[in-house]
Amino acid sequence: MFKIFNKPLKCSLFFSAHITNVKWSVYLLPLQSSFAWSSLLSGPIGSRSLHVTAVCCKNRAARIRVGKGEKPLTYEQAYHPHHIAHHKGWLSQHTSNLKGEDGAAERTIEDVFIRRFMFGTFHGCLADEIVIKRRGNLLIVCALMLQKLPPQKFYFLTGYSEVLLSHFYKCPVKLEIQTLQDKHVYKYI
Amino acid sequence: MHSLCGAFGWTPAVHQQAKESVILPRKKAWSKEAVLETLASTLNRDSTAYPYQFQDDPYLSPRTATEFKLYSLAQDSGRSAARYFVNNHPKFFTKDFAEPHIPCLMPETVSLLLEEVSEEALKERITLRKVTAAVDMYDQLLQTGTAVSMETTHELLDLICLYCDRNPVQEGEAGAEEEKEGRRMTSRRGADVPRLSWTENNNAERIFYLLPERDTRCYSAVIRGMVKHGAYAKAFSVYSDMLNNRTPGDVHIFNALISAAPEVRDGYSERWDLISELLNHMKQQEIHPNLLTFNSVLKSLRQCGSLARSYSPQTLNEMKALGIAPSLASYDHILAVFYKSVSSGPSNSDVLQNLMTELEGQSFTCVDPDDVLFFSSAMKVCLDNKDLELGYRVQSLVEVGENWRLLGDSVQLSIYYGRFFNLLCMMEDVDVVLRWYKQMVPSLYYPNAQGMKHLLQALDTDGRLDLLPDIWTDMKTLGLYNRADLLEQLLGLMAGEEHSPELQEAFAVCALDVKSVFEEKAGLEWSASSLSHVTTLLLRASKAQQAWDMLKLFKAHNRIPSEALLNSFLSVCQRDGASERAVELVQLSAAFCLTSTSGLASRALAEFDLNQEQRLVLAGLEAAAGPPSD
């Protein structure tokens, strides 16, 4: 399975490949949010708290280390973050990073939640990273799945995820699924 | 995956047959409206597209009608599972960052908040549709002596009568016994909702009789509830009660009573008398009839036998006089009245003709639940009268605007398109049939075994047997290979005559495929004719070894090969020069104790060059079988 989830839950590793340049990722949570998986230095409820994650140096982020030649890599995993916009595209597409737009942090948190949600709901079926696109109010989650479940189970999980995520984020969420027989290997490392 | 081609995987042979060489013109002149025409052509229904509610992926698209229903139901049950979680754990979903507020994405309250005995608590239970809790609350209120307002009592009575005094089945819960009963009843009646029956002295009646004063709305609720749940005689007695108390009625009461009239009277004229009496009462009380009134009159007239033919046109005229436009349900009832039996007179086909002329080009919306039955009844009439022209007119009405919505649920849809396709296969040229087939299957219509049989017959009539291998591929995709009779018809068509060598090759490949289907599927029995057809096809394509294996299957399944088959096998052996096989063949036929054994033996002796041993064996067989009987 992916290398990405082998870090403990405490450090929040961002899966969308536009990792920032700084060594420490420190960000402030305005209120204690309902889905806090990371450790919080919590004060009384309603106060601001400082949230500090473990360090992940930029020369180790989203890179799978070379092995003996038996590790299969997908195209997404084979190219490192500095190849974004050269050999690979973005996994999460929204306009909050343009000049004058706000909400980038909220979008990123939503993306993290959606990726974990999809990973857990379609357990063992994901063939590659999820691509999240936002068009206006609409949130489109594009996933590449393996044909491990019969189609009616896929439809059950699709209907369930769409409704649950729509109610959660108060915006229409659509799932677009494509299925493959096996994961598509780009190279072996 | 079988012959994946295009977006859908349907075989290309049913597309253009002629392979023309491509000639590139030097210069092409476009008309002024070419761009507009091209854009307009994209607005029609895309016949290669998957139904929009499914994911755009070959693995996830439904290929048969059962899969269609299964996947859409699975998706819906996933949605209701999510809604169950949202409604039962609302604290995770209350954070509202939608600007402006979207009410449908907020959790709904499903549990009761108010527990004390008060009218607000009663109203809450009514809004949440908790029938038994509401009745208990009402009784408690009466015991404590609190007066309940008339408005709330009306709503309570409406609630009880609508749900027949039982709690509606909630999403996510299902009472186990209710479900079992429901399933038994649904399997008998084929309805989606189990029909509940009105019990004696249930809460509705009890509360109704306890009321100090009963007004129109109370009577309306009780009468309509009784009619809905089958207590017809009681409904009429409550109605006479209402008349005695001189309470004014309302249009819904009369609609319900008119639809219940055939159940309380036997005899056509008595039923009509009751209906006209009710209509007179309506007139006396100056209540204006609406569309549903007339539709219930027509529906009840369907059960009035021969009287219907005289009275239903009068009903239509009344509707027009009052300015109420008839809906498709009214037309459906008219068709049922006039085309009741297959042996109706020739003058009756004018009814549908005139109807279609009048309805040409109109678009409809659904105003009556029975509207969806119109198109399938109309197509049935066209099919019974073998009227292709009329069938096309009905289809063009379906294609106007949004009328396709009135084709009903998936069952009605498959009935309608099944009948239309049947009509086409019977009456039309095979090219036109194939064009419609390409357009309708499988985006609109998943053919069942009956539909496939009609298609095979149409191909046979017009001699287009070269398309049979592709039709077989489609049959496999549609999951229709479980029907032994269908396979037999297919094999019979293929084995009927000799064809060109390439075609015979293709047929032989198909035959081997069919053989593997027979072997894999348990419960499919080989019949003698299918076995012989497969063997013949293999022989014609010069696959002698496989044909030989087929003969062994005859023995295994206790079927007897025909004489013609053995003779043709012998000829093939002669062509191949396989004399040993010829001897084995004669021995096989002796093992089956066939009368043709001696004939085969003598043929073998004459035509093959055999060694001494073989000659002895054959001579023995020829003698043992005795001279052929006259």
| pLDDT tens-digit map of B3-57 | 333 334 444 444 444 567 888 888 888 888 999 988 887 777 777 777 888 998 9
Angstrom CA distances, A55 to A8, A39, B382, stand at: 13, 14, 76
Residues near B112 by beta carbon (within 8 Å), at least 6 away in sequence: B121, B124, B125, B128, B130, B133
d(CA B67, nearest CA chain A) in Å? 8
Tell how strand A72-73 and strand A49-52 pair up. Answer: unpaired
Give pLDDT, residue A55: 87
Question: Residue B59 is nearest to which of A147, A156, A167, comparing CB atoms?
Answer: A147
Angstrom CA distances, B324 to B135, B259, B331, stand at: 40, 19, 13
| pLDDT tens-digit map of B248-284 | 888 888 888 888 888 888 888 888 888 888 888 888 8
Q: Residue written as tokens 């039982």?
A: B166
Angle at B534 between CA B530 and CA B535, to 5 degrees: 115
Which residue, among B54, B56, B59, B97, would best test binding to A if mutated, counting the most A CBs under 10 Å from its CB? B59
Interface of A with B in 93-152 (CB under 8 A): 147, 151-152
d(CA B50, nearest CA chain A) in Å? 14
d(CA B74, nearest CA chain A) in Å? 5
Give pLDDT, residue A167: 94
Sign, Cα dihedral of B75, B77, B83, B86: negative
Asked if B102 and A170 come within 8 Å (Cβ–Cβ), the reply is yes
The helix/strand/coil state of B256 is helix
Residue B486 near residue B480, CB atoms below 8 Å: yes
Asked if A166 and B83 come within 8 Å (Cβ–Cβ), the reply is no
Residue A175's DSSP bridge partners are A141
B-chain residue closest to A181, CA distance: B59
Interface of B with A in 58-87 (CB under 8 A): 59-60, 62, 67, 70-72, 74-79, 81-83, 85-86
A-chain residue closest to B106, CA distance: A167
- Cβ contacts below 8 Å, chain A against chain B, sum to 86
Asked if B93 and A147 come within 8 Å (Cβ–Cβ), the reply is no
Give pLDDT, residue B28: 86
Angstrom CA distances, B617 to B81, B252, B327, B565, stand at: 75, 91, 82, 22
Residue A154 forms contact with B (CB below 8 Å): yes
Interface of B with A in 123-162 (CB under 8 A): none
| pLDDT tens-digit map of A74-106 | 999 999 999 999 999 999 999 999 999 999 999
**How deeply is B221 buried, as exposed, middle or buried, from its count of CB atoms within 10 A (0-12, 13-18, 19+)?**
buried
Give pLDDT, residue A149: 95
CA A172 to chain centre: 19
Angstrom CA distances, B150 to A96, B143, B294, B438, B500, stand at: 56, 17, 31, 61, 85
How many whole angstroms separate alpha carbon B521 and alpha carbon B364? 47
Asked if B77 and A34 come within 8 Å (Cβ–Cβ), the reply is no
Is residue A166 scored above 80 in pLDDT? yes
| pLDDT tens-digit map of A3-43 | 444 444 444 444 444 444 444 444 444 444 444 444 455 55
Give pLDDT, residue B177: 40
**How deeply is B216 buried, as exposed, middle or buried, from its count of CB atoms within 10 A (0-12, 13-18, 19+)?**
middle
Asked if A167 and B105 come within 8 Å (Cβ–Cβ), the reply is yes
Sign, Cα dihedral of B414, B418, B419, B420: positive
Asked if B85 and A159 come within 8 Å (Cβ–Cβ), the reply is no
How many whole angstroms separate alpha carbon A110 and alpha carbon A169? 8
First to last CA, chain A: 15
Say what the ipTM of the complex is: 0.75
pTM above 0.90, yes or no: no
Give pLDDT, residue A87: 95
d(CA B75, nearest CA chain A) in Å? 5
Interval A169-180 mean pLDDT: 95
Give pLDDT, residue A15: 42
Which residue, among B95, B108, B171, would best test binding to A if mutated, counting the most A CBs under 10 Å from its CB? B95
The helix/strand/coil state of A50 is strand
The closest of B408, B423, B337, B422 to B376, measured between CA atoms, is B408
B-chain residue closest to A165, CA distance: B82
Give pLDDT, residue B542: 76
Asked if B70 and A152 come within 8 Å (Cβ–Cβ), the reply is yes
Asked if A159 and B77 come within 8 Å (Cβ–Cβ), the reply is yes
The Cβ of residue B198 has, within 10 Å, a number of other Cβ atoms equal to 20
Give pLDDT, residue B185: 41
Give pLDDT, residue B3: 33
d(CA B481, nearest CA chain A) in Å? 21
Which residue, among B1, B53, B66, B71, would best test binding to A if mutated, counting the most A CBs under 10 Å from its CB? B71
How many whole angstroms separate alpha carbon B314 and alpha carbon B299? 14
Give pLDDT, residue B19: 61
Q: What are phi and psi of A139, to 5 degrees?
A: -115, 120
Interval B592-596 mean pLDDT: 73
Give pLDDT, residue A91: 94
Q: Which of A63-72, A172-181, B200-209, B313-322 has the lowest mean pLDDT?
A: B200-209
How many whole angstroms separate alpha carbon B35 and alpha carbon B165? 62
DSSP state, residue B348: G
**How deeply is B13 buried, as exposed, middle or buried, from its count of CB atoms within 10 A (0-12, 13-18, 19+)?**
middle
Interval B524-533 mean pLDDT: 78
Is residue B345 scored above 80 in pLDDT? no
Residue A49's DSSP bridge partners are A29
Angstrom CA distances, B184 to B77, B179, B562, stand at: 22, 9, 48
| pLDDT tens-digit map of B59-113 | 998 888 888 999 999 999 999 999 999 999 999 998 888 888 888 898 888 777 7
How many whole angstroms separate alpha carbon B381 and alpha carbon B399? 19
Per cent of chain A over pLDDT 70 is 76
Is residue A186 scored above 90 in pLDDT? yes
The Cβ of residue A166 has, within 10 Å, a number of other Cβ atoms equal to 20
| pLDDT tens-digit map of B539-588 | 777 777 777 777 777 777 777 777 777 777 777 777 777 777 777 777 77
B-chain residue closest to A167, CA distance: B105
Residues near B129 by beta carbon (within 8 Å), at least 6 away in sequence: B159, B163, B167, B168
Show the tokens assigned to B63: 């290929």
Show the tokens assigned to B587: 């021995």
Is residue B590 scored above 80 in pLDDT? no
Is residue B404 scored above 60 in pLDDT? yes
Half-sphere exposure of B446 (CA within 13 A, CB side): 19
| pLDDT tens-digit map of B455-510 | 888 888 888 888 888 888 888 888 887 788 888 888 888 887 777 878 888 888 88
DSSP state, residue B142: H
Asked if A168 and B93 come within 8 Å (Cβ–Cβ), the reply is yes
CA B151 to chain centre: 44
Q: b/e per residue, B550-588, with b = 16+ CB within 10 A? A: bbebbeeeebebbeebbebbbebbeeeebbebbbbbbeb
Is residue B172 scored above 70 in pLDDT? no
Interface of A with B in 32-91 (CB under 8 A): 34
Q: Which helix (H) or strand (E) holds B76?
A: helix B65-88
How many whole angstroms separate alpha carbon B76 and alpha carbon B271? 43
Interval B174-202 mean pLDDT: 50
d(CA A150, nearest CA chain B) in Å? 9
Residue B92 forms contact with A (CB below 8 Å): yes
Show the tokens assigned to B107: 């959790």
Q: What are phi and psi of B593, to 5 degrees?
A: 55, 45
Sign, Cα dihedral of B81, B411, B374, B277: negative
The closest of B328, B334, B326, B349 to B301, measured between CA atoms, is B334
Mapping DSSP onto H, E and C, the string for A142-173 reads EEEEECCCCHHHHHHHHHHHHHHHHHHHCCCE
Tell how strand A131-135 and strand A138-146 pair up. Answer: antiparallel
Give pLDDT, residue A132: 97
Question: Residue B57 is nearest to which of A162, A167, A179, comparing CB atoms?
Answer: A179
Asked if A158 and B75 come within 8 Å (Cβ–Cβ), the reply is yes
Per cent of chain B over pLDDT 90 is 4
Interval B324-347 mean pLDDT: 76
The closest of B465, B409, B471, B413 to B438, measured between CA atoms, is B471
Asked if A167 and B107 come within 8 Å (Cβ–Cβ), the reply is yes
Residue B381 near residue B339, CB atoms below 8 Å: yes
Residues near B512 by beta carbon (within 8 Å), at least 6 away in sequence: B538, B546
Question: Residue A166 is nearest to which of B81, B97, B105, comparing CB atoms?
Answer: B105
**How deeply is B32 buried, as exposed, middle or buried, from its count of CB atoms within 10 A (0-12, 13-18, 19+)?**
exposed
**Range among A22-26, A112-116, B63-67, B133-137 rated most confident:** A112-116
Is residue B183 scored above 70 in pLDDT? no
Residue B364 near residue B371, CB atoms below 8 Å: yes
DSSP state, residue A88: B
**Considering only CB atoms, which chain A residues are within 8 Å of B85?**
164
Give pLDDT, residue A44: 61
Is residue B351 scored above 60 in pLDDT? yes
Residue B107 forms contact with A (CB below 8 Å): yes
Give pLDDT, residue A43: 55
Q: In what order do the strands lie in the sheet with A173-180?
A: A92-93, A131-135, A138-146, A173-180
Is residue B190 scored above 50 in pLDDT? no
d(CA A160, nearest CA chain B) in Å? 4
The closest of B281, B305, B304 to B293, measured between CA atoms, is B281
Give pLDDT, residue A4: 44
